[in-house]
Chains A and B, each alone.
Chain A
Amino acid sequence: MRLQLSAEDQAFREEMREFFTTQVPQDIRDTMINHGEITRDQIVRSQQALNAAGLAVPGWPVEWGGKDWTQLQRHIWHEEMQLAGVIPPLAFNASMVGPVIATFGSQEIKERFLPATANLDIWWSQGFSEPDAGSDLASLRTTAVRDGDHYVVNGQKTWTTLGQYGDWIFCLVRTDPDAPKKQMGISFLLIDMKTEGLTVRPIELIDGGHEVNEVFFDNVRVPVENLVGEENKGWTYAKFLLGNERVGIAQVGASQRNLATAKDKAKQMGVFDQYKSRIVDLENQLNALELTALRVAAGSSGDKPHPASSVLKIKGSQLTQAVSDLFVDLEGPAAITSRETRIFLNNRKVSIYGGSNEIQRQIIAGTILGL
């Protein structure tokens, strides 16, 4: 057992810290650190700054811009990025559709999409969830029926995050309604969001903001060459994609940075002593989370998710919410008009998306405890 990072990893950490704190536009980092509204332009500029330095898509195959990093290095990359207030690469591009295309797509589809995806020249949206298929994703009903050189897509997707900015959407669609199991007969299709028959409708959330959407497909014609991999194998690709979501799932760097900001704020307001015990508790829990993330990263072999990944999701989301709760309380009566309260409400989502915490408990009970 050893306390320090290896000299190599320590140097890597310093290199990342140096880059993130000096090479990413300051306005972006200031907005993140001060909990401001992030614009589409800032997300694009941040990713392009990372991509120019080869740091946007480290999880991809090397030939498509990936890095041959260890899990621990990927963890360090992510944490340092968050600590510095850098906007992480758009997950839909960098950790969802990109790796699927790079792993399962044809050479033609790779060349067509991967460089633009890495550089956020194409903004991807995710078309997985449907009104009746949330956690039970395989129940999805959106259909794609082959008609000559096209699929004709009909149905509805929902919870499409930032879909209002999307150029393209990757969708799970049902191509064989008669398949013996509902997981079979699903395909992975790339759809240009400007295609006729596709409409995006905003969903207003409890924080008053607009970040998720419904997407409707009414006889949307999609060229067959936009199919990724094989027809009816989409569930395999979806599972692969969801497995990739685990990098940085605990958001520990962001919570650490937020807690540090909360400390400063409490001091400025002259209420630090009053909140010390709560801050200590949060710091203690964040430390346990960070050390667990390091254990998971150091213990992951290959691309198999560590069984304790669900621990990171559950505790990570709880701490994201708890730190944001602290910000609201620090506002005092001003909380009723504060942006922090809207962020707090918005953060209810983190224990719901990416496999709700109840689903994570099911995973722990079933696959780890054998219950």
Chain B
Amino acid sequence: MDFTIDSEQKALVKAVRGLITNVYESSEARREATATDPGFTAWEKLAEMGVLSLPFEATPVEVSLAAEELGKVIAPEPFVEAIVLAGGLIDALGTDEQKKQYLDAVAGGEILPILAWMEPGRRWSADASAVTFADGVLNGVKAPVVQAERADLLLVTAALPEGGTGVFLVEGATAVETTITNDGGRAATVTFGDTPAVQLGEGGDQTAAIEIALNRARIAYAHEALGAMETALTTTVGYLKTRKQFGVTLNTFQALNHRAADMYVALELARSTIMWATIVAADEDTTPEQLATAASHSALQVSVAGSHIGLDSIQLHGGIGMTAEYSVGHYASRLIAIQHLIGDADFHRARLAATVGDHDVFDPIG
């Protein structure tokens, strides 16, 4: 059992941190980026540094380390959505030709791929029902689809005529209606009306592969959330030490310090689970069931600790925490968004409940 990272991984962290804190040097810089389309500005630089190729060339550990650094500044880049999830699915399912056609361009930042998998009224199901595929065309509605308007390539999950779910590629224009998300990002409702589409990979029911890709993405998102939680706490601690009320700094008040201590407890416990989940994902012997369990355990930590830390950060700041000009509210907002991208606490409790009766003691290293 080893939770430490090696020197190359440390160098990666340092490089990504240097790049991303330069682009988003303050929450004001992030606000400026999200105010204009497409809502993010570091993509090319991340491509140049090789960050966008990590899921295809490195292990889940490197992917997670990068995601955590992006989370620390709540970078609005769709790294997990486009690279880990959509790119990961092309890598996992695509034919050799499709991989050759797309992966280099994705890693180079030339093509932004997005997976359209969520459907109106449904909750984080890996299979599709609202969009169907038949006779070379897609019909139906997907929503929300993160950054759909900006996407060069949509990967669309769709119900197959013979049953099961496939993944289909759509290039170019589709009917897209974009909304600004609660965390300043972009998401859209995408409508397919006899839209021509090409099958990704060899065909057949691909629900299992979609589920694996979603679980890997969940773990990367959890690291993004971990980075966000860490900054939210650090910012709050800094505020408690400097802000004066009644003639003294806030850290004079024990009640406030104890709440900060509880946030730290939540952060460290979440960190343990989330790091472990990445180690599970990186282990070649891990089964899809073990991956799903690890993803759900870390998603549950993200939900509970993310709300706790995000919302208490606002509370401990008082009114300033409510303002768009100050950073902590944006962290809370991003943490809430991540919870609802990866599946909320009740969803993951229900997933874990399916197997909780099968074992005696749950052994994370067994």
A233–B262 Cα distance when bound, in Å, is 34
Which among B3, B273, B352 is the interface contact of A299 at CB below 8 angstroms? B3
Contact between chains at B276 and A291 (CB < 8 Å): yes
Contact between chains at A292 and B272 (CB < 8 Å): yes
Number of inter-chain CB pairs below 8 Å = 137
Q: Given A279-B356, A292-B272, A371-B251, do A3 and B258 touch, yes or no (CB 8 Å)? A: no
Tell me whether chain B's interface is mostly helix, strand or loop, or mixed.
helix
Contacts of A362 in B (CB 8 A): 254, 257-258, 261
Q: Is B365 an interface residue (CB 8 A)?
A: yes
Q: Is A285 an interface residue (CB 8 A)?
A: yes
Interfacial residues of chain A within 1-44, with CB under 8 A of chain B in the complex = 1-6, 9
A284–B276 Cα distance when bound, in Å, is 13
Mask: chain B, 234-249; 1 = CB below 8 Å from A; 0 = not: 0001001100000000
Chain B residues within 8 Å of chain A by Cβ, number: 45
A205–B271 Cα distance when bound, in Å, is 38
Q: Given A1-B278, A280-B352, A371-B240, do A287 and B362 touch, yes or no (CB 8 Å)? A: yes
Contacts of A288 in B (CB 8 A): 269-270, 272-273, 297, 301
A260–B356 Cα distance when bound, in Å, is 10
Q: Is A268 an interface residue (CB 8 A)?
A: no
Contacts of A279 in B (CB 8 A): 353, 356
Contact between chains at A256 and B361 (CB < 8 Å): yes
Which among B5, B251, B262 is the interface contact of A1 at CB below 8 angstroms? B5
Q: Is B63 an interface residue (CB 8 A)?
A: no
Q: Is B268 an interface residue (CB 8 A)?
A: yes
Q: Is B11 an interface residue (CB 8 A)?
A: no
Stretch of B14-22, B223-231, B279-287 at the chain-chain interface: B279-287
Q: Given A308-B268, A315-B265, A365-B260, do A1 and B361 touch, yes or no (CB 8 Å)? A: no
A263–B360 Cα distance when bound, in Å, is 8
Q: Given A260-B361, A272-B357, A298-B2, do A284 and B268 touch, yes or no (CB 8 Å)? A: no
Which among A276, A285, A295, A364 is the interface contact of B357 at CB below 8 angstroms? A276
Contacts of A3 in B (CB 8 A): 1, 276, 279-280, 282-283, 365
Q: Is A290 an interface residue (CB 8 A)?
A: yes
Q: Is A120 an interface residue (CB 8 A)?
A: no
Contact between chains at A294 and B1 (CB < 8 Å): yes
A298–B4 Cα distance when bound, in Å, is 9
Contact between chains at A280 and B353 (CB < 8 Å): yes
Chain A residues within 8 Å of chain B by Cβ, number: 49
Which among B241, B262, B269 is the interface contact of A285 at CB below 8 angstroms? B269
Q: Looking at the assembled complex, report how far the CB atom of B364 sits from the nearest CB atom of chain A, in whole angstroms.
A: 6
Contact between chains at A361 and B353 (CB < 8 Å): no
A263–B361 Cα distance when bound, in Å, is 10
Contacts of B106 in A (CB 8 A): none
Q: Is B300 an interface residue (CB 8 A)?
A: yes
Contact between chains at A1 and B3 (CB < 8 Å): yes
Contact between chains at A284 and B352 (CB < 8 Å): yes
Chain A residue at minimum C-beta to C-beta distance from B4 = A1
Contact between chains at A364 and B275 (CB < 8 Å): no
Contact between chains at A1 and B282 (CB < 8 Å): yes
Which among B251, B257, B272, B353 is the interface contact of A291 at CB below 8 angstroms? B272
Q: Looking at the assembled complex, report how far the CB atom of B136 sits from the nearest CB atom of chain A, in whole angstroms.
A: 43
Chain A residue at minimum C-beta to C-beta distance from B346 = A277
Contact between chains at A290 and B364 (CB < 8 Å): yes
Contact between chains at B268 and A369 (CB < 8 Å): no
Contacts of B264 in A (CB 8 A): 311, 364, 368-369
A295–B297 Cα distance when bound, in Å, is 17
Q: Is A270 an interface residue (CB 8 A)?
A: no
> Which of the listed residues A257, A311, A358 has the most CB atoms from chain B within 10 Å of its own CB?
A311
Q: Looking at the assembled complex, report how far the CB atom of B4 sits from the nearest CB atom of chain A, in whole angstroms.
A: 7
Contact between chains at B362 and A83 (CB < 8 Å): no
Show 17 A/B contacts (Cβ-Cβ < 8 Å), sorted by A: A1-B2, A1-B278, A3-B1, A3-B279, A5-B1, A281-B300, A283-B356, A284-B349, A288-B272, A292-B268, A308-B268, A361-B257, A361-B262, A365-B257, A365-B261, A369-B237, A369-B264
Q: Which 6 A-B pairs have the closest CB atoms?
A: A291-B272, A361-B261, A365-B257, A364-B261, A288-B269, A292-B272
Known: A4-B1, A281-B300, A361-B262. 16 other contacts (CB 8 A): A1-B3, A3-B282, A3-B365, A4-B365, A9-B1, A256-B362, A287-B273, A287-B297, A287-B362, A288-B269, A288-B272, A311-B269, A314-B265, A360-B261, A361-B258, A371-B257
